[in-house]
Structure 1
Amino acid sequence: MKSKKSNTISLDQFKDKHYGETGTKNRDELDLGYENFKIGALIHEARLEKGLTQEELAQKAGTTKSYISKIENNIKEVRFSTLQKIVELGLGGRLELSIKL
């Protein structure tokens, strides 16, 4: 019986092939873009879990509905101080930060 060769590659292998290795300009831009997208997705998910509209979250966090929408839709990067307000005041959560070397 012949074994079939798998053409499956990991996400990191795909990114290495198409965007370069970590530390190159294209790869770093891709990874930064993904992190910004992920923040917006996490805020969106948490907001829905709390049963809040964008307007309600914005009022609690001291910002605008438009700004919340732009963050959730990866149109605008969020400032750290605003992210803290959104998480702590708006969502009643705690923002945790770590640095990996």
Structure 2
Amino acid sequence: MKRTEIKSYSLEEMKDKYIGKLGTLEREAYEYELRMEMLGKMIKAARLERNLTQEQLGQLVGVQKSQISKLENSSNSATIDTVFKVFKALKADIHFNVTIENQYLQLV
């Protein structure tokens, strides 16, 4: 009986093959959408942790409930100002990491 070896692939290899290599427009669009989706999930999780409805959070931020829904479902690009207001209303800290050519930038 002949034994066949199964090749396994890393997630990065799969993304390179099916989405595009880092730096390509397709991959950049994918990575951006992924980050926006994660941001939406973080907003929703923080809102639920604070026991707020979308409408209540919208009132705290000064936007309509529909805007909060769009943020949570990453169906629109939020301004950085709106994101800051949302997290401030949720009494949550935001931390940013900036990386250039695999090196973290730090403010001193």
What TM-score, normalized to structure 1? 0.88
Structure richer in helix, relative to its length: 1
Counterpart of 2:98 in 1: which secondary structure? coil
Structure 2 equivalent of residue 29 of structure 1: 29
Largest Rg, 1 or 2: 2
Structure 2 equivalent of residue 71 of structure 1: 71
> What stretches of structure 1 of length at least 5 have no aligned partner?
none
Structure richer in strand, relative to its length: 2
Number of corresponding residues: 99
Structure 1 equivalent of residue 104 of structure 2: none
- 2-structure distance, mates of 1:92, 1:98: 20
1:18 aligns with 2:47: no
State the Cα RMSD in Å: 1.7
1:100 aligns with 2:99: yes
- 1-structure distance, mates of 2:49, 2:4: 44
> What stretches of structure 2 of length at least 5 have no aligned partner?
101-108
What TM-score, normalized to structure 2? 0.83
In percent, how many aligned pairs have the same letter? 33
